[in-house]
Structure 1
């Protein structure tokens, strides 16, 4: 009901971009929807897992939590610095989350950056996960909800990430097509400018980003084209009761 009232009020709605989790306390708004973006690769992998039939993804912050849940029989996907941890069943590549491996299962998930950002934002009105592969679905959902929006870039160990910021700019562009939304947030405007630079050739523009180099060094860069492909799915992961589920899932 509060979402309906918000839309009817005529109030100008805000969209902001937080470049790094370390800055999130300055942006926190308990009434906002937070979109977590970690394009290479956590948010793309989470969306893919739910697209391929996972029951849910349980994001945990620490390696020990993942180990404890592994001992209880959960399927575990975990990495640090991009490398799959020895005890984990799966790594962090979207290509690990095949229908055969994960359909119908709960997946415990721990990553260097993305899962930390999810927990950091958990006091927001709602937390969802965005990627290029669910870009339009994410933006339709956001404008349909009619709430303030914060895009939280997972970054790299609290540092700025070019690919996450470019993706944030793509969301800003689409959301601002709804006249109820505006922004005077410098980081949102900067993200939008970067997106406009990257848009004609996303792959080429982001070839220079640091995470691209890390993935290449570790021979994990087979997912690049996939992660930069827009609108492969309508799946929108939403964080509720400690786990991520597709917002369209019927209870």
Structure 2
């Protein structure tokens, strides 16, 4: 049934959605210059970024390399730095949404470098407008995307360029939201169909489903899995991080 709805929307000039399972694959997609690329890294960068801005950070500066983060730390910036799931020794914060509570980041620009999320942003930024997606900003993000009327590419950060479950089920959840508007269609993209199918399986009990995820197990071994339930809780923040001149800004702030 979804296939026929997509065909109807396409013929009526609907807005296309595609999913990319890995940053390594994004170069193979046919992306329009005015597209919006939604980068997601549920465990944990995109969830952490949304939380940092909701906590009062003025912006986030994502950098791909540890050396860049160290340099900016020397310039006086606060830094989130993580590799392999673990906080790096020079960092002010680890890559966890729970690091950003009680206004710890209020009024600050926060530098981020993470294993997968910031690398994905780096791949996406030359391919369209970059927005950050997480379960925590799912509904407000879907509403904003609906109003933009532009091609949507959901880029899963994955794990070191490999497929991951958590980003894929988020992609499916976002597709479900967008399709419910009657405005979007899946644009001949098997990855998007697979993401939606996976979400339809997982959403009945997302926490039980995600227990099998490789990165969930990795975080458990590191003692960093306290944020799992929060990472899959929808709509805890009304924040939409959008990359503007190499900084992620909450596009919903009234002064923008």
* Same fold? TM cut 0.5: yes
2:231 equivalent to 1:220: no
Q: How does 1:136-215 map to 2 (within 5 A)?
A: 136-183=139-186, 184-215=188-219
1:178 offset after TM fit, Å? Answer: 2.4
The aligned length equals 242
2:8 equivalent to 1:21: no
2:81 equivalent to 1:78: yes
1:30 offset after TM fit, Å? Answer: 1.9
Q: Partner of 1:45 in structure 2?
A: 48
- Asked if the contact 1:53–1:99 (Cα under 8 Å) also holds between the matched residues in 2, the reply is no
2:57 equivalent to 1:54: yes
1:26 offset after TM fit, Å? Answer: 1.1
RMSD of aligned Cα (Å):
1.0
TM-score (norm 2): 0.92
Among 65, 70, 77, the alignment partner of 2:68 is 65
Q: Which runs of 5+ in 1 are unaligned?
A: 1-9
Q: Secondary structure at the match of 1:200?
A: coil
TM-score (norm 1): 0.94
Q: Partner of 2:7 in structure 1?
A: none
1:180 offset after TM fit, Å? Answer: 2.6
Q: Partner of 1:98 in structure 2?
A: 101
CA distance 1:175–1:100, change in 2 (3 Å)? closer
Alpha-carbon separation, structure 1, partners of 2:182 and 2:105 = 40
Q: Partner of 1:111 in structure 2?
A: 114
1:98 offset after TM fit, Å? Answer: 2.3
Alpha-carbon separation, structure 2, partners of 1:241 and 1:67 = 20
- Asked if the contact 1:90–1:96 (Cα under 8 Å) also holds between the matched residues in 2, the reply is yes
1:31 offset after TM fit, Å? Answer: 1.9
Q: Secondary structure at the match of 1:129?
A: strand
Q: Partner of 2:92 in structure 1?
A: 89
Q: Partner of 2:9 in structure 1?
A: none
Q: Partner of 1:11 in structure 2?
A: 13
1:101 offset after TM fit, Å? Answer: 2.1
1:177 offset after TM fit, Å? Answer: 1.5
Q: Secondary structure at the match of 1:102?
A: coil
Alpha-carbon separation, structure 1, partners of 2:104 and 2:183 = 43
1:91 offset after TM fit, Å? Answer: 0.7
1:125 offset after TM fit, Å? Answer: 3.2
1:29-87: per-residue Cα shift (whole Å, max 9, x none)? 32211101100000000000000100101000100000000001000110000110011
- Asked if the contact 1:32–1:148 (Cα under 8 Å) also holds between the matched residues in 2, the reply is yes
Q: Which runs of 5+ in 2 are unaligned?
A: 1-11
- Asked if the contact 1:35–1:151 (Cα under 8 Å) also holds between the matched residues in 2, the reply is yes
CA distance 1:179–1:186, change in 2 (3 Å)? same
Alpha-carbon separation, structure 1, partners of 2:83 and 2:179 = 35
